[in-house]
A and B are shown apart, each in its own frame.
Chain A
Amino acid sequence: MKILVGVKRVLDYNVKARVKADKSGIELANVKMSMNPFDEIAVEEALRIKEAGNAEEVIVVSIGPSQSQETIRTGLAMGADRGILIETDDLLEPLAIAKLFKHVVEKESPGLVVLGKQAIDGDNNQTAQMLSALTGMAQATFASKVEFDGDHLNVTREVDAGLETIRVKSPAIVSTDLRLNEPRYAKLPNIMKAKKKPLEIIPVADTGVDVSVGLSVVEVNEPPEREAGVIVSSVAELVEKLRNEAKVI
């Protein structure tokens, strides 16, 4: 069985996003970019499934500009077998991303697709669900545990009131939540080896997929700022202020 893993190149989670002066988006020039943290968890899960003997090949897929090759190389250095870059300089909406993933699914026929539950830039939390809807493959989002049982998977999911377990039939699409695993770091020899692993680059136009969508970003603004507060000197003062000034208790 093959496992397909989505790896998106995003602004590093430690870097504070700055809105561009012309309100067209976020300043991405000369800032640290990294693999979306949920995708690191996705790669790790795929590797563990392979190491447990439940898969033969892990393929990391990224959709984005040429620099996304670095993100793919990171996945290969963690241990994935090969990479696919669907190259585009456009920022694509999840519907278009899901259609492009569907295109790869049709070519590769994976038994499992693992995506992150959300990309920390767009914060959409859509792609896995859309891909499931478009391909008809079963959906198991927000996974905190994945267990194989023949041609089924038992997936424990993080939901608002706790945890829920569902059973889905392979081939399936899983999206990762934070507690699924702790991703490994790529070791130096593996980073060297990763440079030799196959990485196929497909221009988005060659896929034949229509990536136009009916949603556009009009402008991007700074969020409202909070006014500065005060430092209180004691618990007594805090309680007094909450009671008489803020009137919230």
Chain B
Amino acid sequence: MSILILAEHEGGALRPATLNVVAAAKAIGGDITVLVAGHNAGDVATAAGQIDGVSKVLHCDDAAYEHELAENLSALVLSIAESYTHVMFAATAAGKNVMPRVAALLDVSAISDITDVVSDDTFIRPIYAGNAMATVKSTDKVKVIGVRTTSFEAGAESGGSAAIESLAAVAASDLVSFVGQELSKSDRPELTSADIVISGGRGMQSGDNFVMIDEIAAKLNAAVGASRAAVDAGFVPNEYQVGQTGKVVAPNLYIAVGISGAIQHLAGMKDSKVIVAINKDEEAPIFQVADYGLVADLFDALPELSKALDG
């Protein structure tokens, strides 16, 4: 088995998601090569070489890879993919953008969002918003896989000493160019890898009221998330959305505030270790998945909770 992983990185550092993909690759077993494509991303290549279990790093440095443009990244991966039995990506927005292209160009199926490895050709993946788990088997010569990061515990960032080889760039596409980005700045931990997540829903009533959630998040060193309804209403930006069609999280503690618990929301958080729900409606479906439920008005409960955390 020889496995190729496309590293994700930003601001000169690996994204934590790459460590989860390495963990999934280890579960398959075999030689693990990490591809670092970027512009001036030498530090990332060095960091990738230190990941425990990685045997080789391929580093391609070119302006074409400064932004994560799908056309350019997929062409680069394709240039080497056929030497591997498995090509793996994180099931992040960036990974999902590239992974199916690589599969189609190899004329093989793509396997999205795996949550478990049964064997080197058989995997488990959620379908229907996680209401069913499909066991799928691939007979393709190269298995192209997206990894649900929360299902594979990140391995050690150090302990490895892989050789770094450089890889030639592939001509950039002239069909697509990067214009700009609006990234939200936050001091909070990243949503998908935080130990504690506190999310607000439509019950929060406004973006201003999220201050109450922010205050508690700061005390718990938690990330802040939201339901689709809270995002659609403009209370918080899109990247806060937890759920089937947003981010999947599985922290040690998930606190849902003013969230009813629609199937689509549960799909993104029901693998959390401990779930707390605060909702004034005792019939709300969120209580069916909560370990601890508090039937209360959030406008009373949140200030109280914030105070209790000081004690």
Which A residues contact B (CB, under 8 angstroms)? 11, 13, 16-19, 26, 38, 93-95, 98, 117-118, 120-127, 129-134, 137-142, 144, 154, 157-169, 172, 177-179, 213-223, 226, 228-232, 234-236, 238-239, 241-242, 246, 248-249
Contact = CB atoms under 8 A, between A and B. Distances in A.
A179 B70 contact: no
B287 A163 contact: no
Given A166-B178, A226-B289, A232-B293, A141 B97 contact: yes
Interface-centre pick from B131, B282, B288, B289 (highest chain A CB count, 10 A)? B131
A94 B305 CA distance: 47
B85 interface: no
Among A17, A166, A248, which residue has the most Cβ atoms of chain B within 10 A? A248
A134 B104 contact: yes
Q: Which of the listed residues A38, A140, A162, A223 has the most CB atoms from chain B within 10 Å of its own CB? A: A223
Interface stretch (B54-62, B155-163, B268-276): B268-276
Given A130-B100, A158-B238, A168-B176, A26 B93 contact: no
Contacts of B289: 226, 229
**What 10 pairs across the A-B complex have the smallest Cβ distances?**
A214-B140, A17-B128, A215-B109, A126-B100, A129-B100, A130-B104, A229-B291, A138-B175, A133-B101, A133-B104
B109 A93 contact: yes
A221 B132 contact: yes
Contacts of B175: 137-138, 168-169, 172
A214 to B, nearest CB: 4
Contacts of B133: 220-223
A213 to B, nearest CB: 5
B128 A123 contact: yes
Given A118-B245, A123-B127, A163-B182, 14 more contacts: A94-B100, A127-B100, A129-B97, A159-B94, A159-B239, A161-B184, A164-B67, A164-B178, A168-B176, A214-B138, A216-B136, A229-B291, A231-B287, A248-B253
Contacts of A234: 294
Contacts of A137: 175
Contacts of A215: 109, 111, 136-140
Interface residues of B, number: 92
Nearest to B175: A138
B108 A122 contact: no
B278 to A, nearest CB: 8
A248 B196 contact: yes
B220 to A, nearest CB: 6
A131 B140 CA distance: 19
Nearest to B179: A165
A6 B96 CA distance: 19
B117 interface: no
B301 interface: yes
Contact of A238 (B263, B288, B294): B294
Given A19-B132, A216-B136, A231-B294, A123 B126 contact: yes
Contacts of B299: none
Contacts of A178: 228, 231-232, 238, 241, 245
Interface string B45-84: 0000000000000000000000101110010000000000
27 contacts: A17-B127, A95-B104, A117-B245, A118-B245, A120-B129, A123-B112, A123-B244, A124-B100, A129-B100, A133-B105, A139-B71, A158-B239, A159-B94, A162-B238, A165-B181, A166-B69, A166-B176, A167-B176, A172-B175, A178-B241, A214-B109, A229-B275, A230-B291, A230-B292, A235-B308, A236-B308, A249-B309
